[in-house]
Structure 1
Amino acid sequence: MAQIPDQVWNDKEHTMNIFSKDHFVKRCLMSAIGVLICGIAVGFFKHAFFGVDPFQSLMAGLDALIPIKFGTLYVIVNVILLLFSLIFDRHYIGLATFINLFLLGYVAQFSLETLQHFFPAPALYLRAIFLLIGIGVICFASSFYITADLGVSTYDAVALIISNTWHIWQFKFIRIITDVICVVAGVGLFLLATKKIDGIQAVVGIGTIITAFFMGPLVDFFQVKVARPFLEGKSEKQPQ
């Protein structure tokens, strides 16, 4: 299951309930809505102008170093991560994975363009509000589609596999490590490609640092407090 390993949630009764009509409909809704809301959150995050999230930091560094179109590069990197999941635990590939691949980018672009239309030059305080909204909403939405267990993004799958399949530390700590690796690699690749500090804000900023250290724990918090109770129902017995 797509959750932290110290709260095992895979007993036989639960496994049988996964495919019950009620739970399956809930999972589909949680996957679709969770991913689409993530796209909206990315728009807020980008319009805050405080740096991109850790995975996009890596992508920005690769984009500066490798002379191919960003769209093509993005597909290549995600295919590599998809192969990682298919080899080690294909259970994380599902509905949400493909919604993420084909729709999240368009939703994020629509969200960003809408914000740019209404707030073409946001003041510093408004940018800070956008950043907080973006981080909070993306963590909340991620907890829903991860808990739905119908697939996750190829990047999310890496930390989940290391945590739940290989049983190396808790998800929140693994996520911090993978996020930090992406940020460091992105900055390093950008500097290697450009040989200058100018434009480094395209790779890393305060928003990047915040998400690198707090996104994992926040997703974990929303999973335990909101997403799992929503899926199972408040009246049902929660896993120990």
Structure 2
Amino acid sequence: MEQHVTFRRVAGMLVGIVIISLGVALFKFAHLGNDPFNALNIRSAELAGLPLGVQNLIYNAVFFTMQMIWGRRYVGFGTVANAVCCGFIITFFYDFLTAHFAQAATLPAPLPWVAAAVVCTSLGISLHQTSDLGVAPYDYLALGLRDHTPLPYFCCRLFTDTLCALLAFLLGGLLGLGTLICAFCLGPLIQFFNIHVSENVLQYVPTGRQA
């Protein structure tokens, strides 16, 4: 398969970043718990008194160091774009949602927001990873585990998401139904979108991807 960069791959990577950010903002807006990594990210920002974008850069710097040591083949322009831009785009979408929509306080009203958040986040990650132009530092953790263990991707993703959820809980972060849904659904949904959407839209299958 040709490995040259195409417009579809670049567009998929950029659109993926935007969709991921929208998904995270939807999680935050629903107030039923954020996705595990951003639950940890948001709580850490609150405790440190830092903007979310800055805290996101700090965590991603740590994960990027691990990525450079053990998974350099996953590093690319998309890695930097995701690490730098996501936190700020999340803030933009969240501010838009709070300005134009009323937040639902009780169940089941927030559930459609959570469902949209899970779908958006999974699709965005799938597009970003399938573009093969550099994996986000946090997303590399599950890929790295898959590469160095006999476990399938969704199990590795479940492990990293569960660990982040646990750390967020210990720090007093907002966890809830949305966090649990995300932790258990992201891995399988990402695999689903890889096969049925991203590979077809981008007309590209990353080298070494497992079915």
> Would you call these one fold, judging by a TM-score over 0.5?
yes
* 1:70 to partner: Cα distance: 5.3
Partner residue in 1 for 2:128: 145
1:168–1:32 Cα change, 3 Å: same
**Partners of 2:29 and 2:103 within 8 A in 1:** no
- How many residues are paired up? 204
Partner residue in 1 for 2:37: 55
1:117 corresponds to 2:63? no
1:181 corresponds to 2:163? yes
Task: Give, in whole Å, the separation in 2 of the partners of 1:214 and 1:81.
Answer: 23
Letter in 2 for 1:107: I
Map 1:35-114; keep pairs closer than 5 Å: 35-60=17-42, 62-63=44-45, 67=48, 69=50, 71=52, 72-114=54-96
Partner residue in 2 for 1:136: 119
TM-score normalised over the length of structure 1: 0.77
1:108–1:63 Cα change, 3 Å: closer
* 1:52 to partner: Cα distance: 1.1
Task: Give, in whole Å, the separation in 2 of the partners of 1:145 and 1:86.
Answer: 18
* Percent of pairs with identical residues: 26
**Partners of 1:56 and 1:203 within 8 A in 2:** no
Task: Give, in whole Å, the separation in 1 of the partners of 2:29 and 2:49.
Answer: 25
Larger Rg: 1
Letter in 2 for 1:154: P
Gaps of 5+ in 1: 1-13, 191-201, 234-238
1:208 corresponds to 2:191? no
Q: Give CA deviations for 1:28-85 in whole Å, capped at 9, x if unaligned.
A: 1110111111112222111111011111233355456x65635554333211100000
Task: Give, in whole Å, the separation in 2 of the partners of 1:51 and 1:121.
Answer: 14
Gaps of 5+ in 2: 205-209
Q: Give CA deviations for 1:2-32 in whole Å, capped at 9, x if unaligned.
A: xxxxxxxxxxxx1xx121xxx6221111101
